[in-house]
Amino acid sequence: MRARHPLGISSDMAPMLDLINAYAPLLAAEAAAEAGSGGLDPADLEQAVWLRLLERGRAPTDSAAWLREAVHREAREARHRARRELPYEPGHLAAGPSVEHQALDAELRRSLRAVIRKLPGRCPQLLSALLSRSDPTYREISRELGISQGSLGPLRSRCLGCLRARLGSED
């Protein structure tokens, strides 16, 4: 049976506790230095490094160097997150498109597809493939339509010209 620490910590964690006690002042100083240069909270950095150490499950061979590097890494990641994240401001919902805007977009897409279906030749198939949500490559479209890949560009230009003319005449 394993011996237990007075605080209920197993004996295999005792070296980790010794490490924490020995390096707490160094970690506090390193975290304060890193945090001061970037507007970070030193306590957050300390907590993140201790967590990383506990997840590691064993003491590093060069603890001081490992702690310095871990503080630097955590600070860099925190600054990176801060650039990506936006603070939450109560009362300001993340504004997505309104229901009316979504309905108008759907109607515009429906109208566009209706005009595309009326185009001559292979234009309906080509433009439908180009507007597909699956975003096929020119190679896939050429196989699907049985047209050489080199012909797709000129055909697309002619089809877009026809579409432009149709849309212009419907105004």
What pLDDT was estimated at residue 13? 67
Q: Other C-beta atoms within 10 Å of 148: how many? A: 9
pLDDT for the residue 1: 46
Report phi then psi at 123, rounded to 5.
-55, -45
Residue 120 has what pLDDT?
93
List, in sequence order, the alpha helices (H) in 85-137.
99-117, 123-130
- Predicted local distance difference test score (pLDDT) of residue 115: 92
pLDDT of residue 94: 55
Of 62, 42, 67, 40, the C-alpha closest to 52 is 67
Q: Which residues of the chain, if any, have pLDDT below 50?
A: 1-2, 5
pTM, to two decimals: 0.44
The CA distance from 138 to 136, in Å, is: 7
Burial 20-57 (b: 16+ CB within 10 A, else e): eeebeeebeebbeebbeeeebebeebbebbbeebeeee
pLDDT at 36: 78
